[in-house]
Amino acid sequence: MKENILLSLANEFGTPLVVVDHDIIRQNYLEFKKHLPKVQAYYAVKANPEPEIVNTLFKIGSSFDVASMPEFNLVYENIKDFPEKERQNFIWDKIIYANPIKPKKTLQLLDKYKPLVTFDNKVELHKIKKYAPNAGVVLRLRVPNTGSMVELSSKFGCDAAQAVDLILEAFNIGLVVEGISFHVGSQCANFENYIQAINIAYAVMKESEERGYKIRILDIGGGFPAPYDRHVRPFSELAYMINVEIERLFPNDIQIIAEPGRFLVATAATSISRIIGKTVRDGKICYYIDDSVYHTFSGIIFDHCRYTLKAMKEGKTEICAVFGKTCDGLDTISLAEELPDLELDDFVYSENIGAYSTASATYFNGFPPAKIVHINV
């Protein structure tokens, strides 16, 4: 995003500020569809639950992956003007509740919508049967997460050796296993994870069919890496590998879905902060900004991300430290940032901050999260 636009918005709305460019969201979605044309994208709402983002993706054909009732309701609000029958068809085709563990109350609320819900163990399966018997179920497998920025396999997914027994039990108690899903871990840099996971899923689906139950949906999850820097391999390379493996293993009538979150929104947002303090500590210049790791930069803590700060002024740069505005020593944004000499009220900005940032912002120390401005909506 051009600095003059950012500067104008910062002066108009104040800081801290997050600018979300919906043209970039649309471009990212179209890139996903271009390289994976047979895969329906279910946007992982948790990556950034701004209603405006949900609206933009809904309008261009996205489906949605939700993990809580508030996320479900956020998506449902986009179709509240549809006739009841169309709303029901939408939920079946457009929403998957992909959190493998769900409270009983959530299942009770979901049941009337007859949604797709995931599970990965026997207790959850019987809970679904009791409280959401009209749901279609999707079995989540445990797959390798090696090389991913955020590992998920230690928390979710059943072992392949247990999978078919769980599928048979689901059918035996009167539920229908509609699909098999997996997740290779967030920001997956090791593309082989996808190949291994697809092969694991194929083996489970093949054995299930041999034992009398054909499964029609393969959910390849999320983890598609956002291009944070030049070291991230191109998405087109990953998509080619996925397409080749799916074509090799599966019949044409298999329905393939995926749950991209970060890939669709990470590059669409830029944060703008103001210098509110400056000092020298141990010979290094230290800047304090009016945002923090408890706010827009929460991805540093929760998402293992590192965000590069840039200045809106030129000059010789030097290594410096940048801290957030809270009183907590943990609130360290960078100890090795390269910036020109800055003064109070100068602006800095950070690109590619659209995923898992404002989504996990808090009101720590009484400071509210940054204001969010949407452009090109």
Active site residues: 327
Pairing, β 63-66 against β 39-44: parallel
Q: What is the DSSP letter of 74?
A: H
Give me the helix-helix angle, 192-210 and 160-172, nearest 10°. Answer: 40
Please give the C-alpha separations between residue 234 and each of 134, 188, 224, in angstroms, as whole numbers: 41, 12, 10
Query: What contacts 252, CB < 8 A, 6 or more positions away?
Result: none
CA-nearest of 156, 158, 105, 157 to 132 is 105
Encode 178-215: b = buried (16+ Cβ within 10 Å), e = exposed. Answer: bbbbbbbbbbbbbbebbbbbbebbbebbeebeeeebeb
Residue 240 exposed, middle or buried by CB count within 10 Å (0-12, 13-18, 19+):
middle
**Which residue has tokens 């950012």?**
6
Question: What distance in Å separates the CA atoms of residue 195 and residue 32, rounded to the nearest whole number?
Answer: 18
Q: Are the CB atoms for 360 and 17 separated by under 8 Å? A: no
Contact (Cβ atoms closer than 8 angstroms) between residue 18 and residue 296: yes
Nearest CA-CA partner of 151 in 179, 117, 189? 189
Question: Rounded to an integer, what distance in angstroms lies between the CA atom of residue 32 and that of residue 263?
Answer: 8
Instruction: Locate all alpha helices (DSSP H) within 214-349, ordered by sequence.
Output: 235-249, 262-265, 299-302
3-state helix/strand/coil string of 135-146: CEEEEEECCCCC
Run of H or E including 337: strand 332-340
Contact 214, 208 (CB under 8 A): yes
CA distance 120 to 308: 38
